[in-house]
Amino acid sequence: MEQEGLFGGAAPSVPAGSLSGADDDIAGKPLAVRMRPRTLDEIVGQQHLLGPGTPLRRLVEEDQPMALVLWGPPGTGKTTLAYVVSRATQRRFVELSAVTAGVKDVRAVIDTARKDLVRSGTGTVLFVDEVHRFSKTQQDALLPGVENRWVSLVAATTENPYFALISPLLSRSLLLTLEPLDDDAIREVMRRALAEERGLGGTVTIDDDAHDHLLRLAGGDARRALTYLEAAAGGAAAADGVITLEVAEKAVDRAAVRYDRDGDQHYDVTSAMIKSIRGSDVDAGLHYLARMAEAGEDPKFLARRLVILASEDIGMADPTALQTAVAGAQAVQLIGWPEAQITLAQVVIALALAPKSNSVVTAIGAAVADVRAGLAGAVPPHLRDSHYAGSKKLGHGTSYAYAHDDPRGVVEQQYAPDAVQDKQYYQPGARGAERDYADRYAKLRRIVRGE
């Protein structure tokens, strides 16, 4: 959820120009709520969306009705942007959760917004959280309000909107992609929370190693960073108001991971994970994955490394390994941390258990070496393009043998240039599925080359 306290059905509205109801009513609220930005200029990060002259800033500053789709991982500010748009344009704020709201609720909010607009000229910002959970019918119910500008729609999603949203709604909306916050942005969020009165008001300080620990655990999620900081601040009373590493560890119930994402540890642990999987040690692979996950490593980086490994170290011994790794990488794009570590763990286990072969690497390496050595040569005439006038006069494609015309589906024919006609780049291994591919490869090579 983007915000705690989402309402089932038509959500109560928040008065225009207020934060969570009223700026002076923040006592007892979570730190992440208290520190929610109130203006566009207070938002940390996302400068590609908020800089001078950007479409979003123009819409807000010119007070135009709008329909926005905010796409990004949790904790990047989707709910915050909706609040800020409401405050800056003095519109009433109404929030619906796509998890619990139905078509009736959507229509009720839009009807009320239309009446308010006619009677008093008061506009409404309708924020729909997790809009990808809406069915086609529920999304259709939003269209009249968007088309007639009865509401300014701000819809948030963590899933690809091109797959999750109906095209009529997407075509009527400005799609804004929010990026995970980098470390500098999270540092600024935490600095403000420590110093500002609506935050911790300077009542606690934090040691550098504790600060770095919370930063790693946040993983680009500002809300998570503030939640951890608030928990650590609560435990600092027994440490003279100082958040030490020990206090921070106890507060979030995790041990600090000795891992430098920008230094040797980054490369050493990554290398250890790859070599453990290559060596078929499932548990060691999982250990190194866990270390990087706990250190806040970019899950997309880990997914890319596993995709490479699937071809580099398994290849034709189990061709489905690449499919598994690619599916894992796609899943990581959809869900992000922390759930993505489950998907990556599945990929690590599958790849570690798979039979191993590096024949794909040696095959392409040998082929590239010959090309670089100048062993290229002309493409045989019968393989050249023949789909243009005059090609037959040049003898291009005229003697080409169509493999599908042979009952075997393969014919004797020269495919490689003369310079490498006798080369054998692929040397099948003897493990897993590659045993069967070795037999088929030898049979096909004999037919093609007339051996």
Rounded average pLDDT per 10-residue block, the chain, 451 residues: 32 38 58 86 83 81 83 81 81 85 91 92 88 90 92 88 89 88 88 91 90 83 87 81 88 62 67 90 90 82 92 91 94 83 93 91 86 79 68 68 80 78 81 79 81 73
Q: How far apart are CA 319 and CA 433, in angstroms?
A: 8
Burial class (CB in 10 A: 0-12, 13-18, 19+), 233: buried
Q: Where in the chain is CATH 3.40.50.300?
A: 46-177
Which DSSP helix (H) or strand (E) runs through 93?
strand 92-97
Tell me the CA distances in angstroms from 198 to 22, 25, 82, 163, 235, one per residue in order. 13, 10, 20, 40, 19
Q: What does the DSSP assignment read for 56-71?
A: HHHHHHTT---EEEEE
Architecture of domain 264-356 in this structure = Up-down Bundle (1.20)
**Cα separation, 3 vs 33, whole angstroms:** 8
Cα distances (Å, whole numbers) of residue 142 to 32, 170, 411: 30, 11, 59
Looking only at the bridges linking them, the beta strands covering 174-177 and 152-157 are unpaired
DSSP one-letter string for 262-328 = TSHHHHHHHHHHHHHHHTT-HHHHHHHHHHHHHTT--HHHHHHHHHHHIIIIIGGGSTHHHHHHHHH
Residue 239 CB burial class (10 angstroms; 0-12, 13-18, ≥19): middle
Name the DSSP class of 379.
P
Q: In what order do the strands lie in the sheet with 124-129?
A: 13-14, 92-97, 124-129, 152-157, 67-71, 174-177
Sign for the pseudo-dihedral over CA of 318, 320, 324, 327: positive
Residue 351, CB-side half-sphere exposure with 13 Å CA sphere:
36
- Could you tell me where in the chain the CATH 1.10.3710.10 domains are found? 360-449
Domain(s) labelled CATH 1.10.8.60 in the chain stretch across 183-260
CATH topology of domain 183-260: Helicase, Ruva Protein; domain 3 (1.10.8)
Both tokens of 80, joined, read 């915050």
172 three-state secondary structure? coil
Q: Are 66 and 172 in contact (CB under 8 A)?
A: no
CATH 1.20.272.10 placement within the chain: 264-356
Query: Which residue is listed with tokens 């091109």?
Result: 162
Q: For 360-449, CATH number?
A: 1.10.3710.10
Cβ atoms 376, 334 nearer than 8 A: no
Half-sphere exposure of 336 toward its Cβ, with a 13 Å CA cutoff?
16
Q: If we measure between CA atoms, which residue out of 244, 296, 286 comes closest to residue 265?
A: 296
Of the CATH numbers 1.10.10.10, 3.40.50.261, 3.30.70.120, 3.40.50.300, which one belongs to the domain with range 46-177? Answer: 3.40.50.300
pLDDT at position 255 is 53
pTM (whole model) above 0.85 = no
Buried b (16+ CB within 10 A) or exposed e, 332-358: beebbbeebbebbbebbbbbbebbbbb
Query: What amino acid occupies position 67?
Result: A
**How many angstroms separate the CA atoms of 103 and 106, rounded?**
5
Q: Within the chain, what is the greatest distance between any pair of CA atoms? A: 91
